[in-house]
Structure 1
Amino acid sequence: MLENYSNLVSVENYCKCEPVHHHVKTEKESCQCNELGKVPHDPSTCALHRTSETTENSNNYTCSNPRDASVDSPNPDRHETMYTGEGTCQSKDCEKSLNLCSNITQDQRLDDEKKKHRQEKYDDYFTSVYNLFQQPIYIGETPHQCGKCGKCFSTASSLTVHERIHTGKKPYKCKFCGKSFNQCANLKTHQRLHTGEKPYQCKECGKSFPQLSALKSHHKMHTGEKPYKCKECGKSFAHSSSFRRHQNIHAAEQHYTCQECGKAFHQLSHFKSHYRLHTGEKPYKCNECDRAFTHYSSFRRHQKTHSLEKFNECKECGKSFLELSHLKRHYRIHTGEKPYKCEVCDKSFTVSSTLRTHQKIHTGEKPYKCKACDKSFIKYSHLTRHQSVHTGEKPYRCKECDKCFTEFSTLREHQKIHTGEKPYKCGECDKSFIQRSNLRIHQRVHTGERPYKCKECGKSFTKCSTLQAHQKIHTGEKPYKCMECNKSFTQDSHLRTHQRVHTGERPYSCKECGKSFTRSSYVKAHLKIHTGEKPYKCKDCDFSFIQMSNLRRHQKIHTAEKITVVNNVT
């Protein structure tokens, strides 16, 4: 098109149409176009396009190009020659009797075929430029439209990427874990989890991130920016995910209510997922081992166990991780590294999220409130666990002992009792634990740390839950009530233990003799009969006991003896 346009300009420089002298008799009107620079709406309207069609009845044209003919020309007769289709002269009266607006050479006696060929060439130029101006020009428009949803895109490549959403096509596969992506850029970002590459570094603290979005999110910690503001209470948030989670607290309407247990949900997908707990439906089936799952997230997590290669393996315990960052975080268990430190109490943590949760203890912030009893919690997970007290819902059942739990994570921890797995080992006394949190609490026995202090009496505790239970002594609060006998308790665990009196449940069994107990502590104490272990030793007489309670009862003997001796002396 551009080439045709440049050729058109060259034609413009060569030819000009001017008015003819009408005293020359013609049968048709002559070309009156003075501006060839303007493209005509119909190329056939200009006389320039009719020069090759001259016949014995053709129009007469007046030449105004001094390069071809003039009064001062060496050969003025040539200027006076009138042309017909046969090339014969028709008049000598007009001073300017020829106006040929075509690319004519100085030898005007070219044969008709050459003239026709040249004229057709000019016709093509005009037609091409005319068509060029008629075509729509897309400025800021999006001509590439999706046939499925009607969404438009500026480029064909963007449309191709979008269409993979409808087709489900994911051509870019991770060589490490087999996960597929619909865009190459997403694959590259994902692979940084395996390689550990973190190209985006914070200028404030030097921390690096695999994604630019993660860096921007992190930078809000330094700037204090909280762009997401709740219209209900005015509270602001740095991240949209935290903002959306917070909004659920204010949501007054609960659209989807479970008819089985009365639990309500804001989203239909959450309701459907919950209802499968009652129906037992497990629609997500693993092709590798035929194991089925209720939730898609659990299914995806399980699939990784099959594809997991030993590229992120812990050298200490052999445990493998899909992501390098998870391995690094896990490795801190063995090294004892705690890089995240609380500025208020100097307490350190292995994970930044744990530090943020801990800091709420100092600020007193409890954003998650129970609608049933107005009790507030630091963490959303604590609220959901508490709500099961009101609903009585325990959807996660252990296949070994049929014990039910409110949370899936609690069930996983419980199952380690049956498997005997105790991955968390104390470096001081070689004692092992099922949960990492239990190990941390145990280590306070060696360090003497008691971080949780009662404001009423100054007594300190190793566990936050123990402090909370203790504080109810001062308030007299006993929120956990038995439906059978109306007896109340300060702790939920005490209520559950008590309820076994009515149900006859004894979930803790001795592997040596098969005797069952209502509490795990009773089993541990009972096992010492078989092992002969007597860890509680009297300092006065070197007597040893299996249980602490027996030692305390024994020590009263010495206390009574001392009182008697004092009385005798006085």
Structure 2
Amino acid sequence: TQNRYEKSLNELSLVEDLHQDGEKLYSCETCGKGFNKRNKFMSHKRTHTGEKPHTCESCGKSFSQKNNLSSHMRTHTGEKPFPCEICGKSFSRKSNLLVHVRRHTGEKPYSCETCGKRFFNHNALLSHMRCHTGEKPYSCETCGKSFSLQSNLMRHKRIHTGDKPYSCETCGKRYSRKNDLFRHTLSHTGQKPYSCETCGKSFSVQSHLVTHKRTHTGEKPFSCGTCEKPYSCGTCDRSYSRKNDLLRHMISHTGDIIFSCGTCQKSFTSHSLLLHHVNTHKDSHSGLPSYSASLALPQQGSSS
């Protein structure tokens, strides 16, 4: 017993000496990184092995580190234990709170070495860097299309699945994109949060404000310097001043069905786009939206 006790003291003394000397007790054989604590060393090793021993009992998702599992569990419980002292908004992860606080302080500690643009968090910087490198690491398993951002891939995959995870609390209408839901909710509230600084006119959609501001500046960002017809057909090179005219023309090449609005004659290549549009009109007699569909056959030997 005495020998075991002395041996333990000697081992403890050795550990203390190593800490005092700044040496690392555990060294990763794969990358050489050193650690003083065994649990951190073991967690690090899983980044090489891919092992994920911590599993969520609710959904079965696995994690390499226990703290990541704890954070994940809050997605099931709804717990948000990290509140912002400035605005009161709460978060399930402390890291998300830290990033949020920077939006109040304006701090952007992560800078792009190529263009100098700064960001609130490291992930945003990494995503931005892909606009310089052209890297698109996220690929759709269904059609093979690649994306620079994982969020863009997830949004794209809903085209294949038809998933619409965003639901309007007022009328129950569902959307595949969060921005589309936000625009829709404005139709209930009548809110127009985007105001023109020149004339004060307000808009419910930011893109409409951007278009409106050009009436003050005279800017024509899509204008061709030769003919002022910015929309060109890739098949016959015919140009149009309006995007809708180009879409109508391109159908003459493809033979697709034209979905036309009975009120303003505007045409669409899909029924869903037409239905979204016709709701802006009301038939003067029936009170119902009016629309029709017709088949446009390809015109042989013609470029229009």
Q: Which category describes the TM-score, using the shorter chain as reference length?
A: 0.5 to 0.7
Aligned position for 2:66 = 184
Q: Secondary structure at the match of 1:483?
A: coil
Letter in structure 1 aligned against 2:246: L
Matches for 1:272-351 after TM superposition, within 5 Å = 282=141
Matches for 1:424-439 after TM superposition, within 5 Å = none
Whole-Å Cα distance in 1 between the matches of residues 143 and 135 of structure 2?
A: 23
Letter in structure 1 aligned against 2:24: T
Whole-Å Cα distance in 1 between the matches of residues 145 and 237 of structure 2?
A: 37
Out of 25, 36, 41, which is 1:154 matched to?
A: 36
Out of 200, 220, 231, which is 1:480 matched to?
A: 231
Letter in structure 2 aligned against 1:226: K
Q: Does 1:502 align with 2:248?
A: no
**1:201·1:208 contact (CA, 8 Å) conserved in 2?**
yes
Letter in structure 2 aligned against 1:240: H
Aligned position for 2:155 = 409
| Pair 1:243–1:203, CA change in 2 (3 A) | same
Whole-Å Cα distance in 1 between the matches of residues 37 and 272 of structure 2?
A: 68
The offset of 1:499, in angstroms, is: 0.8
Aligned position for 1:68 = none
Letter in structure 2 aligned against 1:151: K
Q: TM-score, normalised by structure 1?
A: 0.35
Aligned position for 2:108 = 226
**1:164·1:170 contact (CA, 8 Å) conserved in 2?**
yes
Whole-Å Cα distance in 2 between the matches of residues 522 and 162 of structure 1?
A: 50
Letter in structure 2 aligned against 1:536: D
Aligned position for 1:195 = 77
Whole-Å Cα distance in 1 between the matches of residues 67 and 165 of structure 2?
A: 41
Whole-Å Cα distance in 1 between the matches of residues 40 and 28 of structure 2?
A: 10
The offset of 1:179, in angstroms, is: 1.4
Q: Does 1:536 align with 2:287?
A: no
Letter in structure 1 aligned against 2:32: G
Matches for 1:23-34 after TM superposition, within 5 Å = none
The offset of 1:188, in angstroms, is: 1.9
Whole-Å Cα distance in 2 between the matches of residues 508 and 414 of structure 1?
A: 22
Whole-Å Cα distance in 1 between the matches of residues 124 and 80 of structure 2?
A: 24
**2:251·2:258 contact (CA, 8 Å) conserved in 1?**
no
Whole-Å Cα distance in 1 between the matches of residues 160 and 248 of structure 2?
A: 16
Aligned position for 1:212 = 94
Whole-Å Cα distance in 1 between the matches of residues 275 and 86 of structure 2?
A: 51
| Pair 1:199–1:221, CA change in 2 (3 A) | same
Whole-Å Cα distance in 1 between the matches of residues 135 and 165 of structure 2?
A: 39
Whole-Å Cα distance in 1 between the matches of residues 65 and 273 of structure 2?
A: 57
| Pair 1:521–1:246, CA change in 2 (3 A) | closer
| Pair 1:156–1:201, CA change in 2 (3 A) | same
The offset of 1:240, in angstroms, is: 2.0
Whole-Å Cα distance in 1 between the matches of residues 98 and 165 of structure 2?
A: 39
**Where does structure 1 lack aligned partners over 5 or more consecutive residues?**
7-127, 255-264, 283-291, 298-379, 386-406, 510-516, 528-533, 549-570
The offset of 1:152, in angstroms, is: 3.0
Q: Secondary structure at the match of 1:536?
A: coil
Letter in structure 2 aligned against 1:504: G
| Pair 1:457–1:492, CA change in 2 (3 A) | farther
Structure 1 vs Structure 2: percent identity of aligned residues?
A: 33
The offset of 1:180, in angstroms, is: 1.6
Aligned position for 1:555 = none
Moved more, 453-462 or 163-172: 453-462
Whole-Å Cα distance in 1 between the matches of residues 213 and 271 of structure 2?
A: 25
**1:472·1:490 contact (CA, 8 Å) conserved in 2?**
no
Q: Deviations over 1:444-463 (max 9, x none)?
A: 66766666677899876654
**1:469·1:490 contact (CA, 8 Å) conserved in 2?**
no
Q: Deviations over 1:261-297 (max 9, x none)?
A: xxxx347xx2xx55xx7xxxx5xxxxxxxxx796999
Aligned position for 2:125 = 243
Q: Deviations over 1:26-64 (max 9, x none)?
A: xxxxxxxxxxxxxxxxxxxxxxxxxxxxxxxxxxxxxxx
Matches for 1:45-194 after TM superposition, within 5 Å = 137-138=17-18, 139-194=21-76
Q: Secondary structure at the match of 1:537?
A: coil
Aligned position for 2:296 = none
**2:192·2:202 contact (CA, 8 Å) conserved in 1?**
yes
Q: Secondary structure at the match of 1:226?
A: coil
**1:426·1:439 contact (CA, 8 Å) conserved in 2?**
no
Q: Deviations over 1:179-213 (max 9, x none)?
A: 12233232222222222233333333333333332
Whole-Å Cα distance in 2 between the matches of residues 480 and 183 of structure 1?
A: 52
Whole-Å Cα distance in 2 between the matches of residues 458 and 162 of structure 1?
A: 56
**2:74·2:80 contact (CA, 8 Å) conserved in 1?**
yes
Whole-Å Cα distance in 2 between the matches of residues 452 and 206 of structure 1?
A: 25
| Pair 1:162–1:521, CA change in 2 (3 A) | closer
